[in-house]
């Protein structure tokens, strides 16, 4: 099965769109006549990504991860843009580094940097 849709919910979607435009370079445009913002994460013009007003308080959700070229740089940018680091840089041994963050509206997502040499640092005993 293929992931076909994700939506980011916000109290102020137009303002939150700027966070993701700057952080990931996504193109986010409001649909004419609707309270819905279409998100393009790359070259694909395939629909399936969007931003809307929060439909209910605290819906349960899956955690999505976004691939980035530098986890350290992206974590720093998240904080500069008003987001929060929930889980700092963590190794998935011999696979990647990841961190868990929230955007300024409290939406949680993961950031992923592939790295086949990733391994947790040992703490001195």
- Read off the pLDDT of residues 13-68 as tens digits, 9 standing for 90 and up: 999 999 999 999 999 999 888 888 999 888 766 656 888 887 777 666 768 889 99
Banded model confidence at residue 70, pLDDT cuts 50, 70, 90: very high
Report whether 73 contacts 97 (CB < 8 A). no
| pLDDT for 104 beyond 90 | yes
Q: What is the pLDDT of residue 23?
A: 96
Strand 6-10 relative to strand 49-53, pairing: parallel
Angstrom distance (rounded) from CA 101 to CA 87: 7
67 and 124 inside one domain: yes
How many structural domains comprise the chain? Answer: 2
Q: Do 66 and 48 fall into the same domain?
A: no
The pLDDT score that the predictor gives to residue 59 is 60
**CATH code, domain with 85:** 3.10.180.10
> Residue 31 is part of which domain span?
1-55
DSSP of 18-39: HHHHHHH--EEEEPTTSSEEEE
124 has a pLDDT exceeding 70: no
Instruction: Judge if 18 and 74 occupy the same domain.
Output: no
* Per-residue pLDDT at 47: 58
Predicted pLDDT at 78: 98
Whether 48 and 77 map to the same domain: the answer is no
Say if residue 100 is in the same domain as residue 120. Answer: yes
């Amino acid at each position: 099965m293929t992931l076909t849709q994700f939506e980011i919910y916000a109290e102020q979607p137009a303002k939150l769109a700027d966070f993701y435009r700057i952080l990931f370079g996504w193109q986010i445009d409001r649909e004419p006549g609707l309270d819905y913002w279409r998100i393009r994460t790359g070259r694909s013009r395939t629909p399936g990504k969007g931003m809307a007003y929060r439909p209910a308080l605290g819906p349960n959700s899956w955690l999505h991860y976004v691939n980035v070229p530098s986890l350290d740089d992206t974590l720093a940018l998240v904080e500069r843009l008003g987001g929060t680091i929930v889980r700092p840089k963590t190794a998935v041994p011999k696979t990647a580094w990841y961190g868990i963050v929230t955007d300024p509206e409290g939406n949680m997502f993961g950031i992923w940097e592939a790295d086949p040499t990733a391994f947790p640092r040992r703490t001195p005993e």
